[in-house]
Structure 1
């Protein structure tokens, strides 16, 4: 998901220094006869050894620090052209190529053992293409990262993250937004990939020492040094930038960018997606390599163009360059550029050498001239060691601090010697300029405003957060208009303890509500923590099966301004919670909760939750004392920060939870003894070109009869908003169970269908299909003890299901957060007031 704060921050954190490249060239290449653009033509500065490939619209940009006076242009089937360069900067060249009538269709030259065509040729089948023989050898060797084939390994990793503001023009430099900050525009640089003018805005460098073993799998990553461009406390910038990148293996058939599958140029089915041209041989690092150009066969949104180099002896990828096509169908992203370099060890093993990714992003408009940002990530690897073993306890995070003492205090001399590659003058100037920028009061105020918009909290005195500001207003049938004010301690992003609380008032019921909690973490390695809290509030309890034990949380359904039904089945709860939690293994949490809660109807005339106790007496209040033990696993999840509140990166990691709850009759006047077992599973799956499947499954059973407020209600949704994990065509408390099993599948096709329809393709809409199903049962004893006048129906004899389709990616320009779902109820249509069809609307800031 793209954080919608990304552009705002990048528009504010502006600095500049520059280097002057010796040569800058941009232009467009067209067919002299038809005037159509020529895509994927080779454009080269021969003396500088720099080249590129034109885009689908024929445009190109080249830049070199070495001087050159000649530009060479070569396209399949066209005459070769040399163009003299009369100045260092040559923008907007218009180059027309003539067809080369002297070339025959079968004209070829011998290159080692492969025939390389001198002009583009249509092959009857892929086996006639000489590139196929090379790629077949690449596939046969099943290349593997050498780090996974040795007993143990260690290496040094250098990471550089950078934000730039691009398409800087005179209108921006004269904007009143930058009053008192005009010095940031002293010099402006130009991107070597796109040719756009940009201002560097943020730089973060890190050096890690990485240790690993493969049997069993263990890895340890120690931060040796970190240097940030004056914004060490600005968590939003660095975390958002880190969250943009996914790890991928170029040898996989599909590559994950923004949780969207892109077809790899090395995919086994690549010949059905890409055109390949074997065009040259090149020596790289003393290794003779084939150069193969590739570009998509058709106008597809999740493909690349570029070239790669295959070592002749090992048939391994030595280098690869990938650039997304012009019509990339990813929100907020105009362009992706990837460069990877590898050390080739033998026929089946390679080692990473250097990765570089550039993302050209914009919030509202994808036009080339619109303002946006560059997000860069460079990672390099060196000093590999495969000989030194370490015991298992060496990798245990409880036995070492992943942040080396003094990692954030390294001086300039250390960085000058420790960097894997020297900073350019532009990059080096970021540190100095941002230090100056932070002294400007106006800039401080702007950054403060952006932080408030992004987090929903207003930090005062560097100690207290006021918020969540987005929860200030609410409405429901019981409270009417509701106001809420809250606060929490916040000294840093890695606080080991936190206090929080809120106060709310309903203007219809004229009652105050409140909540407060305290949480303390004693060990950042196993994350051992304890907490306690209490709250008194009005809530909708029938919208979540696997409930949260948190005090500060409140379901969206508890306040809904526009509803499909009356939101009056609310409960007044008074809850106290104490807990202890620990992570005995990475991404595995064991949590023990003790809860004391009283529950009564918020308005018994609208919704009665009374029951008959064990003595046969009628009760209005339920008193429940219980203890729950939960095991939550998030294998593969990635987090930033080590404090009590962590920032989670967007990944495809599953969530698996098992929970056992025991109720104790007589403890603190508790009225029921019961045993409750629950399981929860969530996982997004990337399904080739079909997009992403989001799967949610929940199951549970209560082994004794209990009152309504303790039973498991199949979560309904009476609002017009989309609430994850709920059933859109079920009313609150329509299905009540003590045993249940639910399944929800959302299939995001990412335009797989709509992109085949020309009109819909231009609208950039994306289709979603979904199905939701629930089975449940309820005992006669549970029904008999409850006084409520609701119908106690469980989907036992037939599984309840609903289905439908949605249209997402609705909006204007590049801002497309809206989704509309059309929901149909599949059965139980005979029930009174059953909603057969409904429309729900949601928002999702995703790629």
Structure 2
């Protein structure tokens, strides 16, 4: 059966290859003496002018539309190899290189990876290497993108995004999963980079007009002139997700951001400490004579590339660069990265982008070469530059252009035939027809619906009514016992300008119903002006956030956890009503005004007392009426959809929030006048090659004495789960303040340490280090007001801190969601029942 499947696959590939009249060669290069793979050898089709470099496992793939009957392989230290090709398609081609008798002590053999590299010359220091002199001239000239230094600019940009299912074989084509959908396999093709058979699955094309101004401050407007996408209803999220895989970077920077990990640029100033460079020859590109420098990593397991960089002989600027990741890249779900960047070189100090192409080979279950996966392509080209036409400042406001009313999504085929910067291949052009046909297949619709339910947690049951969130249906705590929750929401389209949602819950322990309902309306999709309101009656764990959310449809994780380190009995019963309005006067900057009315009492006074002294008598039921003004900035954040609910994509964008809250005594029987100000800053930072740091800083002050439920509690965590923003070794209400400052630093080393340890590096686990600190104070007025049995304590004598390390990326294959943290309490160990050490477990699916 295996032989039959292989035969069918081979015949299919041969037929496809012959039909396209292309030269296709794939295989391995091995050492004639050791029989081990040879890495970084040049493989060329000389008459077609096509070449590539073997990867760390000696593999290569070449493809050309030009006829060529000769293949050549060369590498310093080996005899030149040349052979005539007997057919246009040559798979599993094995090439044996014979050592040329040069000094063998300069060769290196890495037995763990079964890789051989052989260099004819070994330089005593980097300055003896001819490539160093060229790169040094490049470093001397501080290159700048010309678009950033002219007074104004505009140009046209064409972007093509594509998903393909790769490693398509006969077993897949006959799978029951594709019953009634077999027609999609008519479009199987072969990648000209990897040689893998693939099936185009998604295509999105966009044409933009980009306007920019650098003086007196930099501003840019990007108008979507046209968009064409294959038939998914939620293609905007698919498109933006694909875009978000690619980060903007400057090749002249020392580190390049891929998947929020810093890879070493091939022209980094410290490149010689990471890469081997070889000046191979000169080549003419677009009429410009260029040096060709081949580079490859010195060590295994680092975030590096292998490829070629072409540097102008006159200006010492990068004209073109190709980059391919090494086979053992330690990025989940990613087998391979291929990048080709082309530039227009204007003079000694200025360049412009010409064309960018990036291919990501994404693995689904595991990263084995033959495992099923996805190709994710992005092609961007630039033309029609104009540096002369000025525009007034207001012109650069992105809100002056609405693609939804301009007809950008309604362009016909005639428009696209003239608008594309490069013609679609036959298979690319057929994706639209294929996906439109799939939309008519009931089985496909059911698959898409199942994926939508798993992703959103909501299930459409009738017209525009969804039920959910299914993932919050069951919970448990000491007061409610087991808890069931059922919710619903309106959902007409992904860009609804209004939404109504609600839930009903029941606790089998306290035998009480809880509920919540909320309605929100947005009037303008550009400035996102909206109003909303809601109410809820529920059991919650207060004191697990310093900067709390004013929303109604939220629930604290801490009050729903099943396994806890503590009793989890300090819960509160709340009745809350909220109304709000908000507007975004600038992109990613929100001004929000909230009005809140809330009553709070202990869920079980016998277990938790929140009583306080007021007007000479004891109270255990607090009424609070307040308003708050919040200023929220998210510079650099990226969203899909424009409706009232947007999908936010993972970025390195910070969150900066400043909030002022005013409490009113006597308004709706409220009992306290108070003023509170709070500040929040969070941001991930890439730290060179050492990983990523997540920083959280919070500070706040309440200017009057208040009861416990209105004070600022340093967030504790009595669960075994990892809850962001909390202190793992603190109990709930252990530290209570009216003035506070907290700081949290989590550093993800991405295997920078463990990947250097033999045997352990094969596990592909990664290390995390963290420290959390808090300082706070509580006034005598607040202390005297509260009569709880809890001895209120603020960490004002010394800063409270806890620290530890974690192991993340635990799992198997590409499924590595687990993280285990080991936490130590740094001080205040004298407090009764203080938890000195704890282990917490969390989940995080990341690259």
TM-score greater than 0.5 by the shorter chain: yes
Q: C-alpha distance in 2, partners of 1:347/1:397?
A: 33
Deviation at 1:186, TM superposition (A): 2.5
Give the drift of 1:604.
1.0
For 2:595 and 2:34, the matched residues in 1 are separated by: 77
Give unmatched runs, 5+ long, in structure 2: 1-14, 107-117
Q: What's 2:54 paired with?
A: 54
Determine the structure 1 residue equivalent to 2:691: 691
Cα distance between partner residues in 1 of 2:153 and 2:500 = 43
CA-CA distance at 1:491 after TM superposition? 1.8
Aligned to 1:282: 283
Counterpart for residue 704 of structure 2: 704
In 2, are the aligned partners of 1:716 and 1:731 still within 8 Å (CA)? yes
What is the CA–CA distance in structure 2 between the aligned matches of 1:307 and 1:203, rounded to whole Å? 29
Task: Tell me how far apart the structure 1 counterparts of residues 668 and 236 of structure 2 sit (CA, whole Å).
Answer: 44
What are the residue-to-residue correspondences of 1:525-540 with 2, within 5 Å? Answer: 525-540=526-541
- Structure-to-structure mapping, 1:37-76, within 5 angstroms: 37-76=37-76
Q: What is residue 600 of structure 1 aligned with on the other side? A: 601
How far apart are residue 384 of structure 1 and its match?
0.7
* Deviation for aligned residue 1:21: 5.0
1:161 aligns with: 161
Within-5 A mapping of 1:105-184:
120-184=120-184
Distance in 1 (CA, whole Å) between partners of 2:754 and 2:791 is 43
2:349 paired with 1:342 = no
For 2:189, the equivalent position in structure 1 comes to 189
CA distance in 1, matches of 2:460, 2:611: 44
In the alignment, does 2:800 pair up with 1:800? Answer: yes
| Counterpart in the other structure of 1:659 | 659
What does residue 778 of structure 2 align with?
778
Partner residue of 2:675? 675
Tell me, yes or no, if the aligned pair for 2:403 and 2:409 is still in contact at 8 Å. no
Provide structure 1 residue ranges, at least 5 long, that are not aligned to the other structure: 1-15, 107-117
Q: For 1:494-513, what aligned pairs fall within 5 Å after superposition?
A: 494-513=495-514
Q: What residue number does 2:111 align with?
A: none
Deviates more, 1:186-195 or 1:383-392: 186-195
Number of the residue aligned with 1:821: 821
For 1:769, the equivalent position in structure 2 comes to 769
**2:23 corresponds to:** 23
Structure 1 residue 282: Cα displacement: 0.7
1:398 deviates by 3.9
Counterpart-to-counterpart distance in 2, 1:400 and 1:407: 11
Structure 2 counterpart SS, 1:366: coil
For the 8 Å contact 1:652–1:683, the answer to whether it is kept is: yes
* Conservation of the 8 A alpha-carbon contact between 1:17 and 1:187: no
| Counterpart secondary structure, 2:375 | strand
Question: 2:464 aligned with 1:463, yes or no?
Answer: yes
CA distance in 2 between partners of 1:593 and 1:194 (Å): 55
CA contact (8 A) 1:233 1:492 kept: no
- Distance in 2 (alpha carbons) for counterparts of 1:363 and 1:484: 33
1:617, distance to aligned residue in structure 2 (A): 2.0
Q: Deviations over 1:275-320 (max 9, x none)?
A: 0011111111111111110000110331000001001111111110
What root-mean-square deviation, in Å, do the aligned CA atoms of Structure 1 and Structure 2 show? 1.7
What residue number does 1:405 align with?
A: 406
Supply the distance in 1 between the matched residues of 2:602 and 2:154 (Cα, whole angstroms): 61
Partner-residue secondary structure (3-state), 1:319: strand
Higher relative contact order (CA 8 A, sep 6+): 1
Per the alignment, residue 572 of structure 2 pairs with 571
Q: Encode CA deviations 1:497-550: one digit per residue, 9 max, x unaligned.
A: 211111111111111111111111112221111111111111101100000001
Q: Deviations over 1:320-340 (max 9, x none)?
A: 000001110111111111111
Report what 1:10 is aligned to: none
Q: Deviations over 1:702-733 (max 9, x none)?
A: 10011100000000000000000000000001
Distance in 1 between residues matched to 2:494 and 2:244, nearest whole Å? 16
Higher mean displacement: 397-406 or 598-607: 397-406
Compute the displacement of 1:120 (Å): 3.3
In structure 2, the residue matched to 1:218 is 219
Counterpart in the other structure of 2:11: none
Q: Are 1:307 and 2:308 matched, yes or no?
A: yes
Q: Distance in 1 between matches of 2:253 and 2:135?
A: 13
- Per mean C-alpha deviation after superposition, the further-off stretch among 271-280 and 224-233 is 224-233
Match for residue 12 of structure 1? none
Contact 1:222 1:404 in 2 (8 A): no
Q: Do residues 721 (structure 1) and 728 (structure 2) align?
A: no
- The offset of 1:754, in angstroms, is 0.6
**TM-score, structure 2 as length reference:** 0.95
Distance 1:388 1:645 in 2: 38
**How far does the alpha carbon of each residue in 1:353-403 deviate from its partner, in whole angstroms, 9 at most, with x for none?**
111111111132110011111111111111111111111111223433254
The CA deviation at 1:460 is 4.2
**Paired residue secondary structure (1:220):** strand
CA contact (8 A) 1:521 1:527 kept: yes
| Cα distance change of structure 1 residues 479 and 831 upon mapping to structure 2, 3 Å threshold | same
Q: Secondary structure at the match of 1:320?
A: strand
Compared CA separation, residues 794 and 190, structure 1 to 2 (3 A): same
Which portions of structure 1, spanning 4 or more consecutive aligned residues, are displaced by more than 6 angstroms? 16-19, 102-106
Does 689-698 or 521-530 show the bigger shift?
521-530
Could you tell me whether the CA contact under 8 Å between 1:105 and 1:121 is conserved in 2?
no
Correspondence for 1:208: 208
Alignment match, 1:245: 246
Cα drift, residue 661 of structure 1: 0.3
Q: Tell me if structure 2 keeps the 8 A contact 1:729–1:838.
A: yes
Q: 1:444 to 1:845 in 2, by over 3 A?
A: same
Equivalent residue for 1:834? 834
Q: SS of the counterpart of 1:699?
A: strand
The answer for the alignment partner of 1:364 in structure 2 is 365
Distance in 1, Cα, partners of 2:33 & 2:232 = 54
Per-residue displacement from partner, 1:67-124 (whole Å, max 9, x unpaired)? 2111111111111111211111100011111111379999xxxxxxxxxxx9631111
**How many angstroms does 1:24 deviate by?**
0.9
With 546-555 and 459-468 compared, the bigger mean Cα shift is at: 459-468
Does structure 2 retain, via aligned residues, the 8 Å contact 1:21–1:63?
A: no
Match of residue 271 from structure 2:
270
